[in-house]
């Protein structure tokens, strides 16, 4: 994937994530977007990060001592995990739900 295409896809993903996170109660979590990443901080002080890894053309999710690497799949038009193939937004919703102690769905 060309660098410009990767950056466009990554920025689009960050925008979708930010719009979705905006719907949460600020007492549950806060987030910031910048410098090629989305940082999500929870009320208990824990932090999850979705970051752009340009050298690998991947987005990485670090959450609760776990990490996942997502590559853009052109045919499915989705960021898919390199190990089990789950989609980035579904994976993010799952780990945020686990952190909050309730099920959440990505509807962004």
So where are the chain's domains?
A: 3-100
- Percentage with pLDDT > 90 across the chain: 95
Number of helices and strands in the chain (H, E) = 2, 6
Single pTM value for the model: 0.94
User: pLDDT, tens digit, for every residue of 58-107?
Assistant: 999 999 899 999 999 999 999 999 999 999 999 999 999 999 999 999 98
CATH number for domain 3-100, candidates 3.30.930.10, 3.30.920.10, 3.20.20.370, 3.30.460.10 = 3.30.920.10
SS3 12: helix
User: pLDDT, tens digit, for every residue of 2-55?
Assistant: 999 999 999 999 999 999 999 999 999 999 999 899 999 999 999 999 999 999
- Nearest Cα to 104, choosing from 3, 25, 27? 25
């Amino acid at each position: 994937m060309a660098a410009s295409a990767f950056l466009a896809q990554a920025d689009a993903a960050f925008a979708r994530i930010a719009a979705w996170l905006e719907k949460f109660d600020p007492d549950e979590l806060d987030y910031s977007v910048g410098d090629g990443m989305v940082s999500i901080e929870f009320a208990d002080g824990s932090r999850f990060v979705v970051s752009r890894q340009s050298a690998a053309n991947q987005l990485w999710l670090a959450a609760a001592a776990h990490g996942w690497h997502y590559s853009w799949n052109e045919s499915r038009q989705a960021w898919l995990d390199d190990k089990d193939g789950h989609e980035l937004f579904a994976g993010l919703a799952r780990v945020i739900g686990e952190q909050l102690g309730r099920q959440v769905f990505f509807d962004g």
